[in-house]
Structure 1
Amino acid sequence: MASEQAAGTSGRRGYHHGDLRNALTEAAVERARAGGPQAIVLRETARASGVSSTAAYRHFANHHELVVAVKDRGLAMLAATMRAELAAGEPCPDPGDEALRRLRAAGLGYVRFAFAEPGLFRTIFHGVTEGDPMIGRRQAAAAAGDGEGHLPGTPDESEESYTLMSQALDELVVLGRLPAERRKYSDVVMWSAVHGLSVLLLDTELAHLPDEIKADIVRRGIDVALNGL
C-alpha cells in the first residue's frame, strides 16, 4: 500500500495508512498535554505528524473526531494512573477494608493524574457532546435516573476510570459494609468528590497553595466522602 507522504517539507516522515491515525492521535495528545483542549488543531496536528491536512482528513472527518480520540487516549492514561495507585498500596487482609483501600486509592490516583497531566485532564472534560467517551451509553435512562442509580450523562461500564470506583462500591455492598439503600448514586458522589478536588486545586486560587497543603486537602476530602457513605 502506498504511503501517505509528508507535505511541503522534504525529509519528513511518511506514514502508511494503517498507522497514520495513531500518529495523528499521539501528536494531538502531546498538543493537549502542553496546551489543553484549545491546542488541538487538526491542521497543526497534521503538520506535526509530517503529513498534509488532506491525509489527516482521511482519518478524522473533523476536529471533533480528533478531540474524541485524544479524550479516549487520555482516559486510558487516567485509568493507568489509578491502577498504579492501587498496585502501590499494601492489600488489606479484611475484604471490606480492602474494598475501602481500593476506593481510596482510585480516588487518589484520579487526582494525581489531574495534577500530573492538567492539559489532558482539562481536555477529557472539555465540551462534552454526543459521541464523547465521557457520556454514558444508557441514553434511555430517565433524567432522574433509571432506578438503579445510573444517571444519563455519566460514564458507562466501559469507562475504567469510573468503574474502578464503582466496582469497589459494589463490593462494599456485597460485604455488608455499605447498606444497599445507600449504594444509589454513590459512584456519582465519589466521582464528584475527586473531580471537584482536582478542578479546585488546578483552576482556582487554590492552585497556588504549596503541594503539601494540596495533598492534605485531597486526603481530607476523600476521607469526608468515604465517611459520608
Structure 2
Amino acid sequence: MASEQPAGPSGRRGYHHGDLRNALIQAAVERARAGGPQAIVLREVARATGVSSTAAYRHFANHHELVEAVKEHGLSLMAAAMRAEIAAGEPCPDPGDEALRRLRASGIGYVRFAFAEPGLFRTAFCIGADAAEGEPMLIGRRQAAAAIGEEERLPGVPGDSEESYAMMSRSLDDLVACGRLPAERRKYSDVVMWSAVHGLSVLLLDTDLARLPDEIKADIVHRGLDVALRGL
C-alpha cells in the first residue's frame, strides 16, 4: 500500500492511504473540540497529521467535506452519550413509564453531551457555506427531514435520521403504541422534544445563562424536560 509523504522536514513518515482519511478526521475533531467549527482549517489539519495539503485533498475535495465528516463524528458521540444515559437508569416495568424514562434520559444525555463537548456540539449543528461551491450546511438537515417526512425531497438525506434523533422518535412511537400519547398528537412531537433539548443546550452554553452554577443549570434542564413531557 502506497504511503503519503510528510508535509515538512520533520522526518515524520506520512500515513498510508487507507489510514489518512481517519487521521485527518481525528485531527479535525480535536481542532473542533478546542475551537468549534471555525477552527477546522484543512491545511492546518493536514499539517497536524504530518502530510501535505495536496495529500489531504485526495481524501476531502474541500473544507465542506471535512466539516461534514466532523459533524457526523460529533453526532455519533452524542448518540453514544444518550445511550449511556438511558442505560444508566433502572428500566420501568410499565411500558408507558419506560418510554417516558427513555425519552427523558435521552434528552438529558443530549444536553450533557453539549456541556461536555461544546466545540463538537457547535460543530455538529453549525451553519456555514463551502467557499468553493456555496452549498449551505443546513442545521439538522436529516433530523428535520425525518420529522416532516421529506427525505425524498431533500437531496443528500438518507431515509433514516441520525441515531440521536431517532432515539427520541422511537420513544414517542412507543408512547403512542401503549396508549399514553394520542396518535393525533404524535405529529411534530419529534420537533418539539428536539427543540426543548437543543434550545436548553444552546441557551445554557452560548448566552449569559452559561455563567450560572452547574447545579442551577441541571435544575433548569430537568424543569425544561418536565414542561416538554407534560405538554405531550
Same fold (TM > 0.5): yes
1:12 deviates by 1.9
CA distance in 2, matches of 1:101, 1:11: 54
Q: Give yes or no for the alignment of 1:17 onto 2:17.
A: yes
In 2: Cα distance, 1:137 partner to 1:91 partner? 27
Query: Under a length normalisation based on structure 2, what TM-score does the superposition of the two structures give?
Result: 0.90
Q: Are 1:186 and 2:189 an aligned pair?
A: yes
What code does the residue aligned with 1:194 have? V
* Alignment CA distance shift 1:28-1:75 (3 Å): same
1:201–1:135 CA distance, 2 compared to 1 (3 A): same
Match of 1:115 in 2: 115
- In the alignment, is the contact (CA less than 8 A) between 1:86 and 1:102 conserved in 2? yes
Match of 1:196 among 194, 199, 206: 199
Q: Does 1:136 align with 2:142?
A: yes
- Which amino acid in the other structure matches residue 62 of structure 2? N
Distance 1:130 1:38 in 2: 15
Length-normalised TM-score, structure 1: 0.91
Q: Against the structure 1 CA distance between its residues 118 and 61, is the aligned structure 2 distance closer, same or farther, given a 3 Å change threshold? A: same
Name the CA shift for 1:138/1:39 in 2 (closer, same or farther; >3 Å). closer
Q: 2:27 matched to 1:66?
A: no
Q: Is the CA contact 1:68–1:132 (under 8 Å) kept in the aligned structure 2?
A: no
SS of the equivalent of 1:55 reads helix
Deviation at 1:7, TM superposition (A): 1.5
Q: 1:119 to 1:138 in 2, by over 3 A?
A: closer
Distance 2:158 2:167 in 1: 12
Q: Percent identity?
A: 77
Q: 8 Å contact 1:92–1:98 — kept in the other structure?
A: yes
Distance 1:182 1:152 in 2: 25
1: distance between equivalents of 2:28 and 2:75? 14
CA distance in 2, matches of 1:195, 1:210: 19
- Once residues 2 and 152 of structure 1 are traced to their aligned partners in structure 2, the CA distance between those partners, rounded to angstroms, is 38
The count of aligned residue pairs is: 224
Consecutive unaligned residues of structure 2, counting only runs of 5 or more, are 129-134
Indicate how the Cα distance of structure 1 residues 117 and 186 shifts in structure 2: closer, same or farther if over 3 A, else same.
Answer: same
Q: How large is the Cα RMSD of the aligned pairs? A: 2.6
CA–CA separation in structure 2 for the residues paired with 1:137 and 1:227:
23
> Within 5 Å, which residues of 2 pair with 1:77-96?
77-96=77-96
Deviations 1:169-203 (A, max 9, x none): 00000000000000000000000000000000000
Change over 3 Å in CA distance of 1:114–1:157 after alignment to 2: same
Stretch of structure 1 that moved more, 130-139 or 79-88: 130-139
1:84-129 per-residue CA deviation (whole Å, 9 max, x = no partner) reads 0000000011111000000000000000000000000001111166
Q: How big is the shift at 1:9? A: 2.5
Give 1:13 deviation, angstroms.
3.4
